[in-house]
Amino acid sequence: MIEIPQAVKQAALELQQSQTDPLAAYIYDLPALDSHLQRLQADLPNQVELFYAVKANPNPVILQRVAAQVDGLEIASGGELELITPLLADKPFIFGGPGKLDSDITAALEQGVEALHVESAGELERLIAQAEARQQVAPVLLRINLSLPESMRTRLTMAGCATAFGIDPQALPAVIERAQASRWIELQGFHVHALSHQLDAERHLQLLGHILQSCQQLAQQHGLALKTLNLGGGIGINYRQPEQQYDWSRFAEGLHELVAQPGLQGVRLRFEMGRYLTAFCGYYLMEVLDLKQNHGQQFAICRGGTHQFRLPPAQGHSHPFVVLTGTGERRRGPELQQARISVAGQLCTPKDILASDSLVERLAVGDLLLFPLAGAYAWNISHQNFLCHPAPVFHYLEAHG
């Protein structure tokens, strides 16, 4: 299990004390977020920009904190654009994703979007029409559904196979020519977000090498002076073996070698990472309400559930957690010892399971379960209104006292 900072544990127990009802909460460790981002930025080559994919966690406090450290923001909807608007005086933004509305594109052009990631021939036509109507040249990267060798895939691959994302390699030459022919499009380069959940730095570097080479070839074939290549996001979090995370140092070292290759000088490379930026700073916290056995299995029923933390069922894993012995009056026996438990929430569905067959040394009603790696695709991807439970408490740790 990964080390949980003492300050987080202490905040969890203090939060419990401050609540009259049993606790469900998110704790965000902001100093840890800061230092994680500082490290990533320090290790990246100068030519590489780090953008934040807002969809990973659009919480305004997190967003503001992340925005202060990254080079820009990636959005995928008009709603995300509204959310980041207060930050746009300081940071550029890019707009990607399928199914963009005309009204979203208009808003993005009005706000001075740094690049629009065009997903299809039809979307390009709509953009040309709007740009012409506005008499405003639109900066564009074409999103390619690039062919990928089997060895480069992960369990969530969006390129090299039939998905709703990006432009098919067969259709691409005509789309490039159309973009080049329009005076309302400034074709800056290409965008490839090929996959998520990449846990292997070596394979990731191979993937990037493949993308860089393919995009350079395409540019050459079409006489395009490449200005920008967006290499997507996709670095994963190891939820199953939390102590074995992505080897960032090796990745950064390999990236320096990759970008030094001939032909890339003067090309701006950009990442739009989500999960890897914010996952580590977030913790989800549940208080044990009840302990019971059913058909030979031990369950801990806890405050909250997958309507607040949908990440484990969404990713199909049993989420790791630590037990914090409750200090309040609600703690009561009998206490389980050396037991294997499933962690269930408060919903009326057997799918409301956050962890299963997890070993606990001691556990009683009134104890807290603290789930790390909960800062991305957690609260914001959850079906929050199911059963009309209130939202969890949100707590922001400002300093490690």
Ligand X SMILES: Cc1ncc(COP(=O)(O)O)c(C=O)c1O
Q: Which residues are catalytic?
A: 348
Residues in 22-81 that interact with ligand X by CB under 6 A? 53, 56
Distance between CA atoms of 283 and 280, rounded to whole angstroms?
8
**Residue 160 near ligand X by CB under 6 A:** no
Residue closer to ligand X, measured from CB, 97 or 254 = 97
**Residue 96 near ligand X by CB under 6 A:** yes
Give me the 174-193 binding string for ligand X, x by CB under 6 A, dash otherwise: -------------------x
Residue closer to ligand X, measured from CB, 32 or 159 = 159
Residue closer to ligand X, measured from CB, 235 or 374 = 235
Residue closer to ligand X, measured from CB, 26 or 276 = 276
Distance between CA atoms of 329 and 307, rounded to whole angstroms?
27
**Residue 372 near ligand X by CB under 6 A:** no
Shortest distance in whole angstroms from residue 341 CB to ligand X: 30
Distance between CA atoms of 275 and 48, rounded to whole angstroms?
18
C-alpha dihedral, 172 to 160 to 146 to 112, nearest 10°? 90
Shortest distance in whole angstroms from residue 203 CB to ligand X: 15
**Residue 273 near ligand X by CB under 6 A:** yes
Q: Which stretch binds ligand X (CB under 6 A): 79-87, 229-237, 261-269, 328-336?
A: 229-237
Q: Which of 374, 325, 353, 363 is nearest to 9 (CA)?
A: 325
- Candidate residues 210, 275, 303, 310; the one interacting with ligand X per rule CB under 6 A: 275
Query: Between the CA of residue 357 and those of 153, 295, 296, 338, 344, what are the distances in Å?
Result: 29, 14, 12, 12, 12
Q: Which stretch binds ligand X (CB under 6 A): 27-35, 104-112, 268-276, 286-294?
A: 268-276
Shortest distance in whole angstroms from residue 108 CB to ligand X: 15
- Candidate residues 59, 196, 216, 382; the one interacting with ligand X per rule CB under 6 A: 196
**Residue 166 near ligand X by CB under 6 A:** no
Burial environment of residue 102 by CB neighbours within 10 A (0 to 12, 13 to 18, 19 or more): exposed
Locate tokens 């208009």: which residue? 106
Residue closer to ligand X, measured from CB, 271 or 321 = 271
**For binding to ligand X (CB under 6 A), which residues are involved?**
53, 56, 96, 193, 196, 232-235, 272-276
